[in-house]
């Protein structure tokens, strides 16, 4: 039993799966390559003699991991790297000068550096290594005294930060992630949503620091809410809300017969299908000549011009001459959430639904969509009750 408990305990050390795409992982590695190379090159130009001041100190490698690998982290922001490294270097040099035992000086430097970074809101984990470097770096580092704070620490930190800003800008990534004031709420939240004040209250109750910016956390939670909302509405498809008894016409149907069907069945549009029941157009009441007076003067004038362009004809008008051929259709398995922008933003009022073999299976109107959304919302409330 103890062996199983031990295995479970060890299993807790396994890392969570990394969801970051491989392209982003390679981008982070490339950024670190460029950043460290530029930092070393700039230090070489400014310092000149590596024997007196090193071109690169080891903590810069750890800073590169944050700046290029997790640039959204609060620990990777400009004030964190500049302030954290400079403050920790100052603390480390001071401890090295006044505490003669290197172990005691290193422990005290790490302690004071962490406290100072929290006090100045510039927590940067690699800065702890900067404090230890000032204490344990050897005679060449000790000989620099407080000059160690400027060169190499401040110079290399500024060079690495500058390269990160340029790299992220060129690769289309937002950096730095500045702290933004919370926006006032414009709507009253319901029981299932949250406000920025709720988020800040929860974070204030936690006894540990989270390595995520509150703005990014809020955006992530709101996107999660939208994803959950969309998932709920993927449970209903067009097949669940469409009208199946669809009145349709063919291209050869006369305009008078189409108008009679619209009046008889009290619909506003008819899908036009070919011999294989595939949708090839749609015709509405406004498209029919006898309804021109109902559609307005401009519409009637447009139809009159079209008839003049076709020339004189004794044959009655057919649906093929009047229908709209650019038809928006959906599949029977399309989620009803995808219909919302079609009706709301693209001006559609009637959408034919096609099923197997691209044949007409039904028709969806705005009324059908509203009814379906209501049914889905009601079903969701019953599940959570």
* Residue 94: both structure tokens together: 């001071």
Most confident region among 3-12, 23-32, 178-187 by mean pLDDT? 23-32
Exposed, middle or buried, 87 (CB in 10 Å: 0-12/13-18/19+)?
buried
Confidence of residue 297 (pLDDT cuts 50, 70, 90): very low
| Residue 39 pLDDT | 95
Averaged confidence pLDDT in the chain = 83
**Domain spans, the chain:** 17-170
What would the DSSP string read from start to end of 50-76?
Answer: TTTS-S--THHHHHHIIIII-TTSGGG
Q: How far apart are CA 161 and CA 167, in angstroms?
A: 10
Residue 335 in this model has a pLDDT that exceeds 70: yes
> pLDDT per residue over 77-112, tens digit each?
999 999 999 999 999 999 999 999 999 999 999 999
More confident residue, 128 or 265: 128
| Residue 293 pLDDT | 43
Q: What length is written for the chain?
A: 385
pTM: 0.57
Confidence of residue 116 (pLDDT cuts 50, 70, 90): very high
* Among candidate residues 217, 213, 211, the one with its CA nearest the CA of residue 176: 213
| Residue 170 pLDDT | 94
């Amino acid at each position: 039993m103890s062996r199983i408990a031990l295995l479970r305990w060890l299993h807790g050390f396994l890392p969570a799966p990394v969801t970051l795409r491989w392209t982003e992982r390679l981008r982070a590695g490339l950024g670190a390559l460029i950043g460290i190379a530029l930092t070393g090159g700039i230090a070489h130009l400014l310092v000149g003699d590596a024997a007196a001041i090193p071109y690169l100190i080891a903590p810069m490698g750890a800073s590169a991991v944050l700046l290029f690998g997790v640039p959204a982290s609060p620990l990777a922001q400009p004030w964190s790297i500049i302030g954290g490294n400079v403050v920790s270097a100052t603390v480390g040099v001071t401890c090295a000068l006044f505490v003669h035992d290197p172990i005691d000086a290193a422990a005290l430097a790490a302690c004071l550096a962490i406290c100072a970074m929290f006090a100045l809101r510039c927590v940067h984990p690699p800065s702890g290594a900067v404090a230890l470097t000032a204490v344990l770096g050897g005679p060449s580092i000790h000989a620099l005294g407080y000059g160690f704070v400027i060169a190499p620490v401040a110079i290399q930190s500024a060079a690495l930060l500058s390269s990160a800003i340029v790299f992220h800008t060129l690769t289309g990534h937002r950096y730095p992630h500045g702290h933004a004031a919370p926006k006032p709420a414009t709507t009253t939240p319901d029981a299932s949503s949250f406000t920025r004040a709720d988020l800040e209250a929860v974070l204030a109750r936690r006894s540990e620091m989270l390595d995520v910016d509150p703005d990014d956390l809020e955006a992530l939670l709101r996107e999660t809410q939208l994803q959950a909302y969309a998932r709920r509405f993927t449970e209903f498809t067009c097949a669940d809300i469409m009208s199946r008894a669809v009145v349709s016409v063919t291209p050869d149907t006369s305009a008078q017969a189409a108008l009679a069907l619209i009046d008889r069945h009290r619909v506003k549009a008819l899908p036009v299908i070919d011999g294989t029941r595939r949708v090839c157009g749609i015709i509405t009441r406004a498209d029919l000549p006898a309804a021109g007076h109902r559609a307005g003067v401009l519409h009637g004038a447009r139809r009159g011009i079209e008839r003049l362009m076709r020339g004189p004809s004794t044959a009655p008008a057919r649906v093929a001459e009047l229908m709209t051929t650019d038809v928006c259709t959906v599949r029977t398995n399309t989620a009803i959430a995808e219909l919302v922008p079609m009706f709301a933003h693209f001006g559609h009022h009637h959408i034919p639904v096609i099923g197997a073999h691209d044949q007409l299976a039904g028709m969806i109107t705005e009324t059908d969509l509203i009814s379906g959304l209501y049914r889905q919302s009601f079903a969701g409330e019953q599940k959570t009750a």
